[in-house]
Amino acid sequence: NAGVTQTPKFRVLKTGQSMTLLCAQDMNHEYMYWYRQDPGMGLRLIHYSVGEGTTAKGEVPDGYNVSRLKKQNFLLGLESAAPSQTSVYFCASSAGGGQGRGEAFFGQGTRLTVV
């Protein structure tokens, strides 16, 4: 019963490098989200998806891209990493679709440092 699994857990990138963060959920949830968490800023939504093949921008989407080719996976890409993208990234999923289905369940996080 894994829930939401993020890969990798830690990563150090050089400025300008690219990488992809993988999120996998085994709860058959429709909705998936990517958040970043920074000290004093709380959790901020980067991108989200309401179903396979769909993506939408959140509060802080610049510098990131996402894809949801399979229902269980949600990928977050950084094409050219910048020091401002140093953060802890959390993936979450929810059943969606109405009241009582909005609870989001989170992964354990990916700590990314861009030097």
Partner 1 sequence: EDQVTQSPEALRLQEGESSSLNCSYTVSGLRGLFWYRQDPGKGPEFLFTLYSAGEEKEKERLKATLTKKESFLHITAPKPEDSATYLCAAQGIQGAQKLVFGQGTRLTINP
Contact residues: partner 1, CB under 8 A? 4, 31, 33, 35, 40-45, 48, 50, 56, 58, 90, 92, 94, 96, 99-100, 102-109
Min dist CB 105 to partner 1, Å, is 6
Comparison of 20 and 54: residue with beta carbon closer to partner 1: 54
Record the tokens describing residue 77, joined without a space: 């890409």
Rounded Cα distance between 62 and 42, Å, is 18
Q: Which is nearer to partner 1, 62 or 103 (CB)?
A: 103
The DSSP code for 99 is T
* Residue 32, H or E segment: strand 31-38
Amino acid at position 59, single letter:
E
* CB of 104 vs partner 1, minimal distance in Å: 6
